[in-house]
Amino acid sequence: MKAKDVQELQRMVGMDDIACYEPVIFAARVEIQCEGRAPSGEPYYRLRVYDSTGYFTAFARIRDWEGHPLGGGQFRSLALHTIDTERGQRHVVAYPEVGSALPEKGPLDLLPVHRAPDPGSLQRLVNVVENLSVEPYREFVSEAFSDQEFAIQYLTLPASKRCHHAKTGGLIAHSLELAEAVHAVGRTMALPTLQTEAGILLALMHDIGKIVLASEFAERVPTRSHEELIEYVLQEPLLSLKQMDADAYHTLWALIVAYRNGNSYSAPMATVVRGLDGCSAQTDATLQSSSQAPMHRYWQSPCGGRKVWIPPLINHDSRRRAG
Angle of helix 170-189 relative to helix 268-292, nearest 10 degrees, comes to: 130
Q: So what's the pLDDT on residue 40?
A: 87
pLDDT at 205: 96
Q: Over the range 48-63, which residues count as b (16 or more CB within 10 Å of their CB) and which as e?
A: bbbbbbbbbebebeee
Residue 208 pLDDT exceeds 60: yes
206-236 burial: b if 16+ Cβ within 10 Å, else e:
bbbbbbbbeeeeeeebeeeebbebbeebbee
User: Is pLDDT of 304 > 70?
Assistant: no
Sign, CA dihedral 231-233-234-239, equals positive
Of residues 8 and 13, more confidently modeled? 8
Q: pLDDT above 90 covers what percent of the chain?
A: 56
Instruction: Provide mean pLDDT across the span 242-255.
Output: 96
Lowest mean pLDDT, pick from 86-95, 101-110, 180-189, 252-261:
86-95
pLDDT at residue 127, as a whole number: 95
Please compute the mean of the pLDDT values over residues 4-30 and round it to a whole number.
80
Q: What is the mean pLDDT of residues 143-154?
A: 93
Q: pTM of the entire structure?
A: 0.86
| pLDDT tens digits, 66-82 | 988 887 889 999 999 88
For the chain, the first-to-last Cα distance in angstroms comes to: 56
Among 91-100, 178-187, 199-208, 235-244, which is the least confidently predicted range? 91-100
262 contact partners, CB below 8 Å, separation of at least 6: 274
Inform me whether the pLDDT recorded for 177 exceeds 80: yes
C-alpha span between 225 and 221 (Å, rounded): 10
Top pLDDT among 276 and 284 is at: 276
Q: Is the pLDDT of residue 308 over 80?
A: no
Phi, psi of 71 (to 5 degrees): 95, -175
- When pLDDT is cut at 50, 70 and 90, the band that residue 39 belongs to is confident
Whether 315 has a pLDDT exceeding 60, the answer reads no
Q: For position 17, what pLDDT does the model report?
A: 55
Hey, CA dihedral for 12, 48, 73, 217, is it positive or negative?
Answer: positive
**Mean pLDDT along residues 262-277:** 88
Average pLDDT over residues 212-219: 79
Task: Tell me: pLDDT of 313 over 90.
Answer: no
At residue 24, does pLDDT exceed 60? yes
Phi, psi of 121 (to 5 degrees): -65, -30
CA dist 196 and 190 (Å) reads: 9
Residue 193 pLDDT? 95
Average pLDDT, the chain: 87
pLDDT above 80 for 316: no
How long a stretch of residues is the chain? 323
Please determine, for residue 317, whether its predicted confidence score (pLDDT) is greater than 70. no
> How many Cα neighbours within 13 Å face the side chain of 244?
16
Band of pLDDT at residue 264, cut at 50, 70 and 90:
confident
State how far Cα 295 lies from the chain centre.
34
> Which residue intervals of 190-300 are DSSP H helices?
193-205, 209-213, 230-233, 235-244, 246-261, 268-292
- pLDDT at residue 290 in the model: 63
